[in-house]
């Protein structure tokens, strides 16, 4: 209790003295797991000063049939509602993960795997139409070496997925290899072919390489002090994330649920982020990408 009191007592003066308007604190990439801490993790985020979460569907277990994928997304929607119940404002993003496509190739042909993956994409686009989610994610391609044929297929499926996301006016969150300027340019080229708006395309798990030259894509950076300081000195559009996994086997992975508010307030205290930058990172850019938090 002493620690919780200290955090809340610290956050409130920062809000009242450093901000002229009410401030949102948004973690742009946050997972919840039915076997994890769930709403307790969300409470940690809120007690540290956070207000909004982008909750991203998590491939809880491998799936081979579309019905199993739908069950997993419904689990994510239920967990998001529990996060709302304890006071968070939430935007939900869901899609089949790019690693799902790789796993499908273990028991299906490339054509069969692509069709099943895109069936899952279509299910998620219907959820966008029904206002149950705001975007598709994590779309993308493997972050590890694969055969050229698998790499080419992954890029083809990403292109088609972005076209379908565009058709329902959805945001899209990407899981890819590390974001170098060259990678960002390549992803931007795929988005251009799909005619997908880059101001609604998010490179998840970003760092300095992605920020250096993002080719018009919004970068969601892992919330280390080094990343925040680097990004604050660029003109690139970025958001902050923990990629919190809510994994009972790794309780703090990738970063803990308190990290985004704590690192934000620390950056304010150290004059690394200005009030204008905080508003942009936590409010105006997330609002532009996801449109609505409920």
Q: What is the pLDDT of residues 132-184, one digit of tens each?
A: 999 999 999 999 999 999 999 999 999 999 999 999 999 999 999 999 999 99
Rg of the Cα trace of the chain? 19
Instruction: Give strand ranges (E) for the chain.
Output: 26-30, 52-56, 89-93, 135-140, 171-175, 201-206, 218-222, 238-241
Banded pLDDT at 2 (limits 50, 70, 90): very low
Query: Is it the case that residue 12 has pLDDT exceeding 60?
Result: no
The pLDDT assigned to 23 comes to 86
- Token reading at 19: 């901000």
Tell me what pLDDT residue 20 has: 56
pLDDT tens-digit profile of 245-275? Answer: 999 999 899 999 999 999 999 999 999 999 9
Whether 69 contacts 96, CB under 8 Å: yes
Averaged pLDDT, 187-204: 98
Give dist(CA 262, CA 7) in Å, integer. 9
Q: Is 204 helix (H, G, I), strand (E, B) or coil?
A: strand
With beta carbons less than 8 A apart as the criterion, state whether 69 and 63 touch: yes
The residue to which tokens 């000195």 are assigned: 233
3-state secondary structure of 140: strand
In tens, the pLDDT along 227-247 reads: 999 999 998 999 999 999 999
* CATH architecture, domain 2-290: Alpha-Beta Barrel (3.20)
Phi and psi, residue 54, nearest 5°: -95, 105
- pLDDT(6) > 60: no
Q: CA-CA distance, 101 to 178, in Å (whole number)? A: 19
């Amino acid at each position: 209790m002493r620690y919780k009191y200290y955090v809340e007592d610290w956050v409130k003066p920062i809000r009242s003295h450093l901000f002229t308007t009410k401030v949102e604190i948004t973690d742009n990439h946050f997972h919840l797991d039915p076997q994890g801490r769930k709403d307790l993790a969300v409470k940690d985020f809120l007690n540290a000063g956070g207000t909004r979460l982008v909750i991203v569907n998590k491939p809880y277990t491998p799936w081979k049939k579309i019905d199993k994928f739908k069950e997993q997304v419904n689990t994510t929607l239920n967990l998001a509602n529990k996060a709302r119940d304890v006071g968070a404002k939430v935007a939900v993003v869901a899609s089949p993960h790019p690693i799902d496509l790789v796993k499908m190739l273990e028991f299906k042909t490339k054509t069969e795997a692509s069709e099943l993956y895109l069936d899952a994409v279509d299910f998620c686009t219907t959820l966008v139409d029904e206002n149950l989610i705001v975007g598709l994610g994590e779309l993308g391609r493997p972050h590890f070496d694969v055969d050229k044929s698998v790499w080419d297929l992954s890029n083809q499926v990403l292109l088609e997925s972005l076209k379908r996301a565009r058709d329902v006016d959805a945001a899209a969150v990407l899981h890819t290899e590390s974001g170098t300027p060259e990678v960002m340019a390549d992803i931007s080229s795929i988005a251009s072919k799909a005619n997908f708006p880059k101001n609604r395309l998010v490179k998840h798990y970003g760092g300095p390489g992605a920020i250096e030259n993002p080719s018009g894509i919004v970068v969601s950076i892992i919330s280390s002090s080094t990343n925040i300081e680097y990004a604050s000195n660029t003109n690139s559009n970025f958001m902050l994330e923990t990629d919190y996994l809510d994994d009972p086997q790794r309780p703090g992975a990738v970063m803990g649920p308190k990290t985004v508010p704590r690192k934000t307030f620390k950056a304010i205290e150290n004059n690394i982020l200005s009030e204008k930058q905080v508003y942009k990172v936590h409010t105006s850019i997330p609002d532009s990408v996801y449109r609505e938090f409920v």
